[in-house]
Amino acid sequence: MQSCITIEQLEPPEIHVLRLGHRPERDKRITTHVILVARAFGARAVYIADVVDEKLEQTVRKVLETWGGKYFSLIMGVNPRKLVKEWKNSGGTVVHLTMYGLPIDEVVDDVRKSKKVLVVVGAEKVPRWVFEEADLNVAIGNQPHSEVSALAVFLDRLREGRELSLCFPDAKMYIVPSAKGKKVVRTG
């Protein structure tokens, strides 16, 4: 495997992601992408608020089996208010990504000092309590785009690009970068 770093070398902070407003019939693809970004960019868990979506679980399980990440959890049907409250009570920082928030570059140094961070992303309209309960409302630019891009840019700024070298020692397959074509190595 090419030179890479483990999740332990990437942390702290430990990152978990809370996905609000998932609608199984409409958001399967975008929520899957939120989960894939979270895993690939060094988060330990994604919580899906309120709903359980079996198809999402199957998709993610296949990715984890092939590409690794046994430490990564997908937890569905979570009560978001309870999670946010418990996270804060246990000393964690809650960062809500919203186009209305403070610029990422103004706050990222402070976020980096936290031991663990719960990153909250929405779908359609995010309820008022999230803005109030979050320790920080953070904008990735003040234009509307997407929870997938917001999460990716946030994690990349937080980790200063180091997350792109993350490796998954339990992977069944990994990629050898190449200028042309596809080089994939199957382990064991």
Ligand X SMILES: C[S@@+](CC[C@H](N)C(=O)[O-])C[C@H]1O[C@@H](n2cnc3c(N)ncnc32)[C@H](O)[C@@H]1O
Spell out the residues 6+ positions from residue 50 whose beta carbon is closer than 8 angstroms to its own: 22, 77, 78, 79, 80
Question: Between residues 9 and 142, which has the closer beta carbon with respect to ligand X?
Answer: 142
Query: Smallest distance, Å, CB 132 to ligand X?
Result: 14
Of 84, 94, 117, 101, which is closest to residue 150 (Cα–Cα)? 101
Binding residues with ligand X: total (CB under 6 A): 17
Residue with Cβ nearer ligand X (7 or 111) = 111
Alpha helices in the chain (DSSP H): 7-10, 24-40, 54-67, 80-89, 104-112, 128-133, 147-159
Least spacing, CB of residue 139 vs ligand X, in Å: 4
3-state secondary structure of 68: coil
Do 22 and 183 contact (CB within 8 A), yes or no? no
78-117 residues near ligand X, rule: CB under 6 A: 97-99
Q: Judged by CB, which is closer to ligand X: 63, or 123?
A: 123
Contacting range for ligand X; rule: CB under 6 A; set: 1-9, 33-41, 144-152, 167-175: 144-152
**Between 67 and 131, whose beta carbon lies closer to ligand X?**
131
Does residue 144 belong to the site contacting ligand X (CB under 6 A)? yes
Determine, following the binding rule CB under 6 A, whether residue 155 of this chain makes contact with ligand X.
Answer: no
Smaller CB distance to ligand X: residue 92 or 122? 122
| Cα separation, 19 vs 2, whole angstroms | 32
Taking alpha carbons only, the member of 13, 67, 81 closest to residue 42 is: 13
CB of 151 to ligand X, least distance (A): 8
What letters, b where the CB count within 10 A reaches 16 and e where it falls short, cover 75-98?
ebebebeebbeebeeeebbbbbbb
Q: Which of 147, 159, 163, 171 binds ligand X (CB under 6 A)?
A: 147
- Under the binding rule (CB under 6 A), the answer on residue 134 touching ligand X is no
Contact positions vs ligand X (CB under 6 A): 97-99, 121-123, 125-126, 139-141, 143-147, 150
